Amino acid sequence: MNSYAQYLARAAEEIRIFAASKDGSQWGSQWYEQISDLTEKTRAASTDEAAERYLDMLLWCIVDSGPLGKGFAPSIDIAADAMQRKRKRQFKERCLSKEHR
């Protein structure tokens, strides 16, 4: 299990709820299937690195053609925030290790 799976536990339900809402009706079933598939692949990934690749793809799909600013799947936002915090921490650690060489 990867460290993002816990954040995405409710994502499938959130996606279904949004799809059934007035705001969600403008996106087709194919788009929701793609989002659901990427969400499940992110949850099922065996390593953080694999999960991050799927999460990146998921976020690009949402940014490229999705319901930005509509409260779509808060758990995906939480997972994205966790990934960004991890990447920022890793970047700082790399910078510090270069300074101490």
Cα 9 to chain centroid, rounded:
12
Instruction: Give the pLDDT confidence score for residue 63 in this predicted structure.
Output: 87
Instruction: Give the pLDDT confidence score for residue 68 in this predicted structure.
Output: 65
Buried b (16+ CB within 10 A) or exposed e, 11-28: bbebbeebbeeeebeebe
pLDDT in tens, 60-95: 999 888 776 667 899 999 999 999 999 999 999 988
pLDDT in tens, 4-59: 999 999 999 999 999 999 888 888 999 999 999 999 999 999 999 999 999 999 99
Instruction: Give the pLDDT confidence score for residue 3 in this predicted structure.
Output: 96
Nearest to 53 by CA among 87, 27, 21: 87
pTM of this structure: 0.85
